Amino acid sequence: MNKFEQLGLNESLLRAINDLGFENPSEVQEKAIPLLLEKDTDIVALAQTGTGKTAAFGFPLIQKINPENRETQALILSPTRELCLQITNEIKLYSKYIKGVNTVAVYGGASITEQAREIKRGAQIIVATPGRMQDMINRGLVNISKIDFCILDEADEMLNMGFYDDIVNILSTSPDDKSTWLFSATMPQEVARIAKEFMRKPLEITVGHKNSGSSTVSHEFYLVNARDRYEALKRLADANPDIFSVIFCRTKRDTQAVAEKLIEDGYNAAALHGDLSQAQRDGVMKSFRGRQIQMLVATDVAARGIDVDNVTHVINYQLPDEIETYNHRSGRTGRAGKLGTSIVIITKSELRKISAIERIIKQKFEEKTIPSGIEICEIQLFHLANKIKDVEVDHEIDSYLPAIYEVMKDLTKEELIKKMVSVEFNRFINYYKKNRDLSAQKAGSERRESFASNDGGSGNGAVRYFVNIGSRDNFDWMSLKDFLRDTLGLGRDDVFKVDVKEGFSFFNTDAEHSEVVLETLNSMHLEGRRLNVEISKNDGRDNNNRRDHNGRSGGGFKRAGGDRSTDRNARSERRGESFGGGRSGARTQSPAGRAPRRSSDSTGSRKPRRS
């Protein structure tokens, strides 16, 4: 007998499950489904993202509703429009062999009257975001006074996004004798409060560790001197060319100032805070969703409703006043099963806050050093090479090619590559050549020593490698480190300084292992792709060699005197460009805004520097 059959699911569902290709129930499904089928009970189910919670409530729900009755019998609340549509779609697939089941999605940003009309036609199941649902109830467009089931899906996310009041209001218009099923990845206090106040003796199911933060987010901090905060932020952006990030500041003023500086320095950035009008905020969010903005600088309040998937980094430019807020911030990344990184830029005097946050998120931070100029150049170089390799060719170009071939005809392939890459790369090299290390020195023995594992090794004779796998292949630094150690048969601390980018990564080993590394990895395939490992030029500890032990700020970038006024004039024009440009790479121009200004044409091309 099929495992799903043993859970008590009926024939129509089993057929649909078979079509979906699910072979065995996941743990949360195995625990929740029989309980929910057997009893009319409230339930709190905690399981990580990606563990199949939708089916864990979807299957029993479909089996329990009455398809012959066209009244609304179940309400599923979910945090975002995307999830709302996703769940609706899943429920439709699960119920495809059961006649008469209708599921309607209700979410903001689409016609409310059309949604109301669909419900009127008879929808047993409504899947809704709390905001829009509240709106519909207020306008009398929907009636949930007879529902038997209310499901709070991704409850922690909903509360993170500030939907507490909406949820409470919605629950209060629903009948007391319904069953409430709460599904969540984590159990922060607000979720516990909902469970306590609005549920009756809920059964509790936990898969994995209760209360742990989302394991899809890794946490890092960078210790810098206070005056280097901004420069550190820029380097983090430059070291992550595909960054798509939310940057948190404490006040509206700082938010505006940091965003302005980033724009001035040529990044695709924008500010989001309460002093903007609703229309301005909508405009910013639209550009962010469309990825014309790669660095969204926001206050905590303004960022509350941000439901954008694929955010790669959350950066705490300053830590929040209330440590608890950190959780809300870091929850903007690592969504929908994707990996994300939450970064804290921190000064020595705030260091103790890290342990306090670790206690709250039940996860450890990794201490990292701000990438050196050389590291950034290297990353940019490989990024550029990958970008050239992957670029989609527009065939408009075809007619020009014969003439262009003619121009290039005397260059060998190697020369051509070298020159092509240099076109973009010279600027980075020129800027970073002069730049110093930013990591703040820590006093004597620090508590962070336990985190040295990613930075172990003897220091001398370390070899740094480039490898052509990265976050695109679902690695983060921890999983790549594990993968490399296992594959190479090396010990716990033999692989260090693992730095994962989108399409490639870097790591170090001691020199004695380099032969094994090169031989083993270069003869391997991963999901049909050949691994490529090369020794990279610097050993990844360039920082330490260049550290300025006097603690001077020496060599920091200063804008050339006469540049500033031009910059101001050029700003609004460039801002227009960065909203519409849609370039890849966080910068819209070269580092620090000093190198050549972009031309004002709309193609995003740069003025040639020299002929």
Per CB under 6 A, contacts with ligand ADP among 351-370 are none
C-beta of 87 vs 469, nearer to ligand ADP: 87
Return the closest-CA partner of residue 346 out of 219, 454, 246: 219
| Cβ–Cβ < 8 Å for 132, 106 | yes
316 is in the binding site of which of Mg ion, ligand ADP, none (Cβ under 5 to 8 A by kind)?
Answer: none
Rounded Cα–Cα distance for residues 268 and 288 (Å): 10
How many other C-beta atoms are found inside a 10 Å radius of the C-beta of residue 482? 13
Rounded Cα–Cα distance for residues 223 and 238 (Å): 18
Edge-to-edge strand ranges of the sheet holding 125-128: 103-106, 125-128, 74-77, 149-152, 179-184, 43-46, 203-206
Give the H/E segment covering residue 136: helix 130-138
169 is in the binding site of which of Mg ion, ligand ADP, none (Cβ under 5 to 8 A by kind)?
Answer: none
Judged by CB under 6 A, which of 2, 14, 35, 52 binds ligand ADP? 52
Query: Taking CB under 6 A as the rule, does residue 49 contact ligand ADP?
Result: yes
C-beta of 58 vs 540, nearer to ligand ADP: 58
Query: Taking CB under 6 A as the rule, does residue 520 contact ligand ADP?
Result: no
C-beta of 206 vs 325, nearer to ligand ADP: 206
Which residue minimizes CB distance to Mg ion?
53
φ/ψ of 575, rounded to 5, equals -60, -45
Least separation in angstroms between CB 195 and ligand ADP = 18
Judged by CB under 6 A, which of 8, 34, 50, 604 binds ligand ADP? 50
DSSP 495: S
Least separation in angstroms between CB 365 and ligand ADP = 25
Query: Taking CB under 6 A as the rule, does residue 26 contact ligand ADP?
Result: yes
325 is in the binding site of which of Mg ion, ligand ADP, none (Cβ under 5 to 8 A by kind)?
Answer: none
How many other C-beta atoms are found inside a 10 Å radius of the C-beta of residue 349? 8
Q: Among the candidate windows 48-56, 223-231, 269-277, 394-402, which touches ligand ADP by CB under 6 A? A: 48-56
Least separation in angstroms between CB 324 and ligand ADP = 24
Query: Taking CB under 5 A as the rule, does residue 481 contact Mg ion?
Result: no
Query: Taking CB under 6 A as the rule, does residue 25 contact ligand ADP?
Result: yes
CA-to-CA dists, residue 467 to 106, 495, 538, angstroms: 45, 13, 14
26 is in the binding site of which of Mg ion, ligand ADP, none (Cβ under 5 to 8 A by kind)?
Answer: ligand ADP
Query: Taking CB under 5 A as the rule, does residue 335 contact Mg ion?
Result: no
**Residues 24-53 vs Mg ion: string with x where CB under 5 A?**
-----------------------------x
Rounded Cα–Cα distance for residues 451 and 222 (Å): 13
Q: Among the candidate windows 52-60, 99-107, 403-411, 575-583, which touches ligand ADP by CB under 6 A? A: 52-60
Least separation in angstroms between CB 53 and Mg ion = 5
Buried b / exposed e over 545-554, threshold 16 CB at 10 Å, is eebeeeeeee
Judged by CB under 6 A, which of 12, 51, 294, 312 binds ligand ADP? 51
C-beta of 78 vs 316, nearer to ligand ADP: 78
Rounded Cα–Cα distance for residues 20 and 241 (Å): 37
Least separation in angstroms between CB 223 and ligand ADP = 34
C-beta of 47 vs 77, nearer to ligand ADP: 47
**Residues 52-91 vs Mg ion: string with x where CB under 5 A?**
-x--------------------------------------
Least separation in angstroms between CB 102 and ligand ADP = 21
Least separation in angstroms between CB 495 and ligand ADP = 30
How many other C-beta atoms are found inside a 10 Å radius of the C-beta of residue 520? 16
Q: Among the candidate windows 43-51, 121-129, 218-226, 350-358, which touches ligand ADP by CB under 6 A? A: 43-51
Rounded Cα–Cα distance for residues 121 and 148 (Å): 19
Measured in whole angstroms, how far is the alpha carbon of residue 293 from the centre of its chain?
14
Strand 245-248 relative to strand 313-316, pairing: parallel
C-beta of 52 vs 162, nearer to ligand ADP: 52
294 is in the binding site of which of Mg ion, ligand ADP, none (Cβ under 5 to 8 A by kind)?
Answer: none
Rounded Cα–Cα distance for residues 31 and 27 (Å): 6
What are the structure tokens assigned to 448, written together?
């962070």
DSSP H helices in 21-64: 27-38, 53-64
Q: Among the candidate windows 45-53, 214-222, 263-271, 408-416, which touches ligand ADP by CB under 6 A? A: 45-53
Rounded Cα–Cα distance for residues 335 and 86 (Å): 14
Rounded Cα–Cα distance for residues 163 and 286 (Å): 21
C-beta of 49 vs 102, nearer to Mg ion: 49
Query: Taking CB under 6 A as the rule, does residue 34 contact ligand ADP?
Result: no
Least separation in angstroms between CB 580 and Mg ion = 34
Return the closest-CA partner of residue 258 out of 269, 242, 268: 269
DSSP 279: H
Least separation in angstroms between CB 506 and ligand ADP = 31
Query: Taking CB under 6 A as the rule, does residue 54 contact ligand ADP?
Result: yes
What are the structure tokens assigned to 564, written together?
């500033």
| CB within 8 Å of 83: residues ≥ 6 apart | 153, 154, 336
Rounded Cα–Cα distance for residues 570 and 265 (Å): 11
CA-to-CA dists, residue 257 to 63, 261, 276, 292, 442, angstroms: 55, 6, 14, 20, 29
Judged by CB under 6 A, which of 12, 46, 53, 184 binds ligand ADP? 53
Rounded Cα–Cα distance for residues 38 and 323 (Å): 42
51 is in the binding site of which of Mg ion, ligand ADP, none (Cβ under 5 to 8 A by kind)?
Answer: ligand ADP
| CB within 8 Å of 413: residues ≥ 6 apart | none
C-beta of 156 vs 238, nearer to ligand ADP: 156
> Which residues would be at the binding site for Mg ion (CB under 5 A)?
53
Name the site residues for ligand ADP (rule: CB under 6 A).
22, 25-26, 29, 47, 49-55
